[in-house]
Amino acid sequence: MNPIKVGLLGIGTVGSGTFNVLKRNQEEIRRRAGRGIEIAVVADLNTERARELTGGTVDVVSDANDVVTRPDIDIVVELIGGYGIARELVLKAIENGKHVVTANKALLAVHGNEIFEAARKKGVIVAFEAAVAGGIPIIKALREGLTANRIQWIAGIINGTTNFILSEMRDKGLDFETVLKEAQQLGYAEADPTFDIEGIDAAHKVTLMSAIAFGMPVQFDRAHVEGITKLSAIDIKYAEELGYRIKLLGITRRREDGVELRVHPTLVPASRLIANVEGAMNAVLVQGDAVGATLYYGKGAGAEPTASAVIADLVDVTRLHTADPNHRVPHLAFQPDELSNVPVLPIEEVTSSYYLRMRVSDETGVLAEITRILAEAGISIDAMLQKESREGEPQTDIIILTHLTREKQVNAAIRSIEALQTVLSPVTRLRMEELN
């Protein structure tokens, strides 16, 4: 059987990794796929570099439109990134009857509904294992491995840059800005790290996982997103004293009245496996009703880990290339006409436990006033830590951990607490998840 022909859009870090792994393991891959998989053409603006990386063994063009319209190309691998030209090229590839493999979580989180519908109408596949958690096969696990389960919730460390920063802040006691500069010098953070540190990248990924887990359209615009830029080293230290670690988590949870979809710094008990995921590693914890909790851990980025996921998709598409489109695994795991427009709950309706830190005057009655406000708001206290005031400084930090409560109740209580003259700075509020 003739090899299946692939057109590669972009030969940067992941593109070059894909080319090299496919070449190195071509015989193993052929045995698994049932036929050869061959990159026939590469599109990249830097054609000289592309020719150098491919050793002159494939066609190299500067215009990606030449690839998505070529009659001999069966699969287009989109590794350009972003929302703009990538969307145009993916839709054009689909219109020309090409299957698509992409690592572009931003594209699918924002335009996925349009792209999946276009692919359904043309009878082609859009595969995106590499879009979430790099080399960890979490999309396949959610779409296929856990298909018997009613997924209850997902919580993931799905951005290596922020996990590296939080690990360094905890280990070395450094502030955010110092560690960010270190991460940039080491290549863990981009020159413009906004998508990572503001939680946007993680939100793209958890949006896709949420859609697959709960059988609903992708709804990135409804996700609540907080990054780590305002996180203080002192809160990491206090969390540690209380038996918790702070991680930037992407969380999605099924509730009777809708679905929670959120990204934010989260206190997790230090005894949990996911709390001990350090450095630039990723981990995703999935709770199913039949299987219980399953944890997926590995490298979430990098040339060859991400290439591993890209090539796994290429193998899957090759196997299903001639299959009846109605017998393929649906893009979002559920049949397209069975997707449910479940409401994504606003953050005020989320139920969680909370870490509250407040700087207060060290005088009689302050704690009583704060606990009164919490009680009137219907908020139960789980634990409390009061730090000793420093000599000559009549101020102290009070840290309160709450039981489960609705966010709007916490917001109301914080407003009342901050109105007290004895509370000297805004209340720091972080959410907590037991993940048990």
Which residues belong to the active site?
205
397/358 Cα distance (integer angstroms): 6
| Bridge partners for 151 per DSSP | 288
Quick check: 379 and 387 in contact, CB under 8 A?
Answer: no
69/90 Cα distance (integer angstroms): 11
398/381 Cα distance (integer angstroms): 13
Tell which residue, 288, 272, 255, 275, has the closest CA to residue 406: 255
What tokens were used for 314? 């290429």
> Token match 């796929």: residue?
33
Quick check: 274 and 295 in contact, CB under 8 A?
Answer: yes
Residues belonging to the chain: 436
Residue 266 dihedral angles phi and psi, to the nearest 5°:
-140, 135
91/325 Cα distance (integer angstroms): 18
